[in-house]
Amino acid sequence: MDKLTNEEFEIKYNMYYQSLLRLAYNYTFNTSDSEDIVQDVFIKYYKCNKSFESDTHEKNWLMRVTINQSIDFIKHKSKVLISNDYINDLPDTSDADSKNEDLKVYVNMLDYKYRTVIILFYYDNYSINEISNILNISENSIKVRLNRARVKLKELVGDKKWLKKI
């Protein structure tokens, strides 16, 4: 990849910024921290001399770097709290708002590897194949993580009947 021109970089920035910000926010639950992470990701992107096979490959690389940056950020932060801003920013997955809010809180309680696949699959509507490419793990591993995440969610939720959607 040749060095990006400022115009090319701005196009890519505008194209990917919102999805990367949402992805980072799924880990940090803080807008400022997420913005910092995405800024770091774009700095790495601007400086990298990597050739991308396609736009999809490029986007997957950016998402993978964002996930890694987010996890590194959390490892260095002593405590991460679930914020109401995060809950309000996720798209609805249920007709009833109170049920939806409860579900988002439970999703946030999952380990990172389970939360990541749930968010990418249910909230960002990626296919199993796309998630596999983004996370660079096999489709079978994605399926296993989704199933384990669903089981963990059901354990967290208890006998709430409305969770049948997941």
pLDDT at 101: 60
Could you report the per-residue pLDDT of 105-159, keeping only the tens digit for each? 788 788 888 888 888 888 888 899 989 888 888 999 999 999 999 898 888 877 5
CA distance 103 to 101: 5
Who contacts 22 (Cβ-Cβ below 8 Å, separation ≥6)?
A: 89, 124
Residue 31 burial (10 A CB sphere; 0-12, 13-18, 19+): middle
For residue 83, the SS3 value is coil
Token reading at 140: 């079978």
Q: Are 61 and 50 in contact (CB under 8 A)?
A: yes
Q: Which of 20-24, 52-56, 159-163 has the lowest mean pLDDT?
A: 159-163
Who contacts 79 (Cβ-Cβ below 8 Å, separation ≥6)?
A: none
Q: How far apart are the first and last CA of the chain?
A: 41
CA-based nearest residue to 113, from 145, 76, 66: 145
Could you report the per-residue pLDDT of 71-116, keeping only the tens digit for each? 888 777 633 333 444 444 545 544 445 555 667 778 878 888 888 8
Token reading at 105: 């809180």
In this prediction, residue 69 has a pLDDT band, given cuts at 50, 70 and 90, of very high
Could you report the per-residue pLDDT of 32-59, keeping only the tens digit for each? 999 999 999 999 998 887 788 898 999 9
List the helix and strand counts (H, then E) for the chain.
Answer: 8, 0
**Maximal C-alpha separation, the chain:** 55
